[in-house]
Structure 1
């Protein structure tokens, strides 16, 4: 992707491409820019190190719920995963390995949060204001801006009156302090989602008392985690074709599940039976069994994997509280029936705000439109989750409706990266100032997307973070990764406008 456009631009740029975020998305973008011959780029990272979600989430038990060998780039398969479902530190180590191997480390600007981005229609240039230490410029200009800020980034906090009055320690799972001791303390965990079901079995033996505040019981399938021995790892290393075949089998096994999520939710009944058998095999008490049995269709909320969660809830020092929280005060939590739970530590396992990554960014496109304001409202739309009308030369990775309930998100990332690379190539081939998706194309795409969502399990009646306040799916891709790859594989220039074409 040789930059040939600077010679006719009237406004000088500091970098051709700026990527924001150094998690899986940002690194994939950086690596592929280099692969296609573009070396004039930087990656802005607000923290002191790369890794995104896997740098920040360090609560006990943190691990991926996608099979390890599928949770890696297709261009950098890892035959050395230690477990079927890898812990956070091992995933973080993999990301550091990729950054080193593909020589993108020199492009990383740490402690450099993007504060404001403003688009100039005359030049087609983005002007970025950057915070952090002044070893880097405070203001830079670029011809393309790629937001790889992720969806699992900004913690979501419960709407619990008095939370700020609690005199003990309050910690969100996304901001876990490894030095914090729970030994002999009365601990409360709010939430029973993915983070909590991993955390609770790990901290239950440490706490004097542990109260789990459950709003809705999750559907949980057996995790069947296992260690990969030295022989298996060596075989995968020495026989790449065997490793590819294993990865492929994981992919198609996961991909086959999509029909249950999309067109035929009744297929979930078979999976529900497996989950119920799992629950009943681990919980004998009928009262507890009733509290832990979901009353919504499986898949409407995120399906969890765990073998040790139900046993942890049955420890003598653990209590499950299903009465809604009324308020929090200085000494603990009071539920709606007046019951008080005195606590020393309150853990918030309440997940993430999927639009929160953009709420703190001022991204001003054409006519002063603010992307953060629009996406934290009820207008969170894009074309293929990557291009946004009104914001030329700007792309997003894992933008709206690119989430998956059945397979690895890295598949979506790589498909989007390829699309963005082709869009930039086409812009430069036409010697244009900018590339922007047509408004009517974006609107038509989203109408079709919401039409396909109607018959899906995600709109089957439960309330989840997949839906906005009006009940519209803004998070999940209502289809297979095969269909997404098909739509992103061939860049369609007729769906975009190329402004300022020079001859």
Structure 2
């Protein structure tokens, strides 16, 4: 797979973990730049990342399709303004096929560990089955939403019925006429609940914290529009620019200094009042934290599904699970056939469960014991020639992550080219550069809505926001436009 040889574009060895937007986007750009010795390691048997895994009913994106796609590969004739998971998964397959990436992908290969050898400037990589690989560069494109989070509830192991997580949906299991309990009311639940509510006999929704839900401005593109987008690609590009600009302005809503949340609050209040007429029930669906503190969700069907006669929303905490049902804190037992976890992902556990060891055997897990952090979300001091795509503090609350990924790809590509030009063995981020950057990020985070006192998947247990970028995306692109070599300690290759 990887061959030894002198260092050039053709034979520099690059290992990429993951085949979602990040891994595929980098692979395409590497290929276009003349690199050939790169391999993508994928634990599953297909590309697509989060869009391959999340196949639950109603799964879709909350960023418009024209924006949630690569800038260099826009025209695929999107059916909806917002793409479904199947459509986005198909788009990523299309990109893999078009740019001939399949020969570079090793499927069914989960990476267990990677250790850096400073004397050679090589990453020694091992899979969970013991296969070994070597590469000069290691890039983790595993995303933030790839490992389902399961609730810790007393007695779950005793339940005799069917259980599964929304990200591991069991399509062979028939929900028709079943009594179902859904635990969680996050971004996944608000999409699949309206779909399954139509077919189940009864649905109990256990709500720990009510979400803010506003209408989703989604619609089908007409045949005329789709034909126009395909005949005149500039129209799709113009719509992409409009969508980007509109979403970028929304950042102001998440800063307490420029807070425009009253408008979002008004939209939310109008939406819930139109859908939920009963004031007592509406009160139970009101969030107990400031709007914007957690992810604002978009759906046209969520509240409508909650007023169905076969649906019950339960605000009382769960005490335990029995063999045939769930007991709440008041002691009420509700019998169910199925429990579905809509409990999200372990988003703050970056890189887990992989064991990554850098200079002098230092472990990434140890370095991150107080919460993940990285310079520009890309590099970590002590881990040379290691990059992350969609790493710490690069998630967005207002725009398309694909734009951020393309910025990161530019930076990584430039870094590899600088490495070759200067004949380096490795480049290690200076610790003071990482410290200065993260102090700035955490200080800026204090003036955002995400730091207004609520618990969310953006934060660690101690309250450190390890996930979100607190600025505009064009600022991030400016800061990643080139590999800023002055922030790295360089070790030349001995000739």
- TM-score, with length taken from structure 2: 0.96
Q: 2: CA distance between counterparts of 1:140 and 1:275?
A: 51
Task: State the partner residue of 2:81.
Answer: 84
Backbone CA RMSD of aligned residues? 1.8
- After superposition, the C-alpha distances for 1:460-497 in whole angstroms (9 at most, x for unaligned) are 11111111111111000001101111110132110111
C-alpha contact 1:14 1:140 (8 A) present in aligned 2: no
Task: State the partner residue of 1:195.
Answer: 188
Q: 2: CA distance between counterparts of 1:309 and 1:368?
A: 49
Q: Give 1:158 shift.
A: 1.3
Q: 1: CA distance between counterparts of 2:395 and 2:356?
A: 22
Tell me, yes or no, if structure 1 residue 445 matches structure 2 residue 437: yes
- After superposition, the C-alpha distances for 1:386-424 in whole angstroms (9 at most, x for unaligned) are 111110111011110000000010011110011011111
Q: 2: CA distance between counterparts of 1:319 and 1:126?
A: 53
Task: State the partner residue of 2:117.
Answer: 120
1:291-370 equivalence runs, <5 A: 291-356=284-349, 358-370=351-363
Q: 1: CA distance between counterparts of 2:83 and 2:194?
A: 17
Tell me, yes or no, if structure 1 residue 462 matches structure 2 residue 454: yes
Task: Select 1:17's aligned residue among 14, 17, 24.
Answer: 14
Q: Give 1:115 shift.
A: 1.3
Task: State the partner residue of 1:410.
Answer: 402
- TM-score, with length taken from structure 1: 0.95
C-alpha contact 1:20 1:26 (8 A) present in aligned 2: yes
Task: Select 2:63's aligned residue among 62, 66, 70.
Answer: 66
SS of 1:264's equivalent in the other structure is coil
Task: Select 1:49's aligned residue among 37, 46, 49.
Answer: 46
- After superposition, the C-alpha distances for 1:326-357 in whole angstroms (9 at most, x for unaligned) are 11121111111111111110000000001445
- After superposition, the C-alpha distances for 1:68-89 in whole angstroms (9 at most, x for unaligned) are 1111001101350000111111
SS of 2:6's equivalent in the other structure is helix
Task: Select 1:492's aligned residue among 484, 487, 494.
Answer: 484
- After superposition, the C-alpha distances for 1:92-129 in whole angstroms (9 at most, x for unaligned) are 00000001111111101000111111110101101111
SS of 1:43's equivalent in the other structure is strand
Q: 2: CA distance between counterparts of 1:78 and 1:352?
A: 31
C-alpha contact 1:153 1:357 (8 A) present in aligned 2: no
1:51-450 equivalence runs, <5 A: 51-131=48-128, 138-264=131-257, 266-356=259-349, 358-375=351-368, 377-450=369-442
C-alpha contact 1:423 1:435 (8 A) present in aligned 2: no
Q: Give 1:265 shift.
A: 5.8
Change (3 A) 1:263 1:411: farther
C-alpha contact 1:84 1:228 (8 A) present in aligned 2: yes
- 5+ long unaligned stretches in structure 2: none
List structure 1 runs of 4+ shifted beyond 6 angstroms: none
C-alpha contact 1:382 1:400 (8 A) present in aligned 2: yes
Change (3 A) 1:35 1:8: closer
Q: 2: CA distance between counterparts of 1:104 and 1:342?
A: 49
C-alpha contact 1:430 1:502 (8 A) present in aligned 2: no
Change (3 A) 1:338 1:32: same
Change (3 A) 1:398 1:320: same
Tell me, yes or no, if structure 1 residue 30 matches structure 2 residue 23: no
SS of 1:26's equivalent in the other structure is helix
Q: Give 1:284 shift.
A: 0.3
Q: 1: CA distance between counterparts of 2:257 and 2:17?
A: 38
Q: 1: CA distance between counterparts of 2:350 and 2:459?
A: 16
SS of 2:22's equivalent in the other structure is helix
- After superposition, the C-alpha distances for 1:175-231 in whole angstroms (9 at most, x for unaligned) are 001111111111000000000000100000111110000011111110021101211
Q: Give 1:295 shift.
A: 2.8
Q: Give 1:500 shift.
A: 2.7
C-alpha contact 2:76 2:91 (8 A) present in aligned 1: no
Q: 2: CA distance between counterparts of 1:144 and 1:180?
A: 43
